[in-house]
Chain A
Amino acid sequence: MSALADATFRAYREAVIRLPPDVLRVIEQAAAAETNPVARGEFENILKNITMAEKLGVPMCQDTGVPVIYLTIPPDVPLTQGLYEAVAQGVRRATLEVPLRPNVVDPITRHNSDDNTGIGMPAIHVKPGERFTVTVFPKGAGAENMSRIGMHLPSHVNQIEKFVVETVYLAGSRPCPPIVIGVGIGGTFDGAAAMAKEALLEPLDRMTEYERGILNAVNRLGIGPMGLGGDTTALAVKVKTGGCHTASLPVAVNIQCWANRHATVEVKR
């Protein structure tokens, strides 16, 4: 499974150095539309930083995150422990060679493994697919820490927007806005959180009317880039829904900074 380790390494390097085209597009669009002069300056720095990371071949942010991995495996690839080991091997190599900041610690002792692996880390999610691919989604702490989940009353469907706006309001400048907001609605307690995270991988330059409505509500807060004020507190809102219990309404909000880094690489066979 060294092909999978290699693909994981390449996807990791790509993810931390270069933003996906749809993410870059929404940043450029927001920068062009921004009217606040301080916010325009922040966008200028962000865009210069993106160019510089690519030019120098270095990570765009010093927080290179924790490894969140999505695998799609075709019918002829067996789901074995070997797959998990190969991904971890790719993460270790990326930590040394990109290099990445060693971020993964034991949650209680806080001991750092120094190679970005640990119990259940990399966090690997597997789905069946046509092609054999690995997606690396490095998740930084500043934004992840501002995420929330709520088990709402089924009669409070009209308060989902309030919950999202409240989450962004409470976060303030801390998640390094402009942010991207992944919302998981329905499913179970854990399922809503998983959907919120997966929503962040959806194309940001296509939003439904519902998503746009929440985005506009969030942007009325005026927190702006880095909390310095402006039209752009969030770049996009992406919603995923799942069937849930008639007595439940789980809502999870996963916050992501402007560096919505992810890359997908096909595994050579």
Chain B
Amino acid sequence: MKKPVQLRIPLGEEVLALHAGDHVELTGVVYTARDEAHLRMQKEGIPFDPKGAVIYHCGPVIQDTLVVAAGPTTSARMNELSGFLIDKGVRALIGKGGMGTRVREQLKNKGVYLAFTGGCAALAADRMKLKGVFFEDLGMAEAVWVIELDRLPLVVGIDSHGNDIFRDVSKHAEAEFGRYRKL
């Protein structure tokens, strides 16, 4: 395996050089956001500087000031809610399972989707430090947690050129399952 590309937040034009399938390690401050946080940010504005920022689709378990478990949640739920963030300068979205055609188009020449391994809550927590919180009234899972990452291991799922591993994989699976349709 090639050595992972080291990325540091805030991100800039360097993300445009990434290709789907590249391994990266991400360092710096990210913001967690699920459905409710996206809706709140659309209504009330983004509570942090979105330029070069990174959004993490995650509902962590937080105990006092500690990130106990923080694996990724399913990104597809945010398919219709991510455009405004990318428009405002967000360079990367982290989650699991990939995203729809609309986000793939929105990321073109702007940013990337980074996949993190589902269920890897202990590994994630080991590489994270809690720095703050916005919208805490939304509850633990839905609040925007400010978390500092130390070399979180990710893979580029969708790049800024329109390449999308998840799309390619589901096309292959569809063709393979198609062989049974004749039965």
Contacts and interface: CB of A to CB of B under 8 A. Distances in A.
Interface of A: 37-38, 40-42, 44-46, 48-50, 52-53, 56, 58-63, 99, 101, 142, 159, 162, 165-166, 169, 172-174, 176, 220-229, 257-259
A71 to B, nearest CB: 27
A59 B122 contact: yes
With a 10 A CB-CB cut-off, give which of A40, A48, A101, A173 has the most chain B CB atoms.
Answer: A173
Nearest to B156: A38
Interface of B: 1-2, 21, 23, 59-61, 63, 68-71, 74, 96-98, 115-126, 153, 155, 157, 165-166, 168-170, 172-174, 176-177, 180, 183
A259 B118 CA distance: 10
Contacts, number: 137
Main secondary structure of the interface of B (DSSP, over half): mixed
With a 10 A CB-CB cut-off, give which of A49, A59, A62, A174 has the most chain B CB atoms.
Answer: A62
Contact of B173 (A56, A172, A257): A172
Contact of B96 (A62, A226, A229, A258): A226
A174 B183 CA distance: 26
A224 B169 contact: yes
Given A176-B96, A223-B169, A59 B121 contact: yes
A260 to B, nearest CB: 11
Nearest to A172: B170
Contacts of B180: 162, 165-166
Contacts of A142: 74, 118
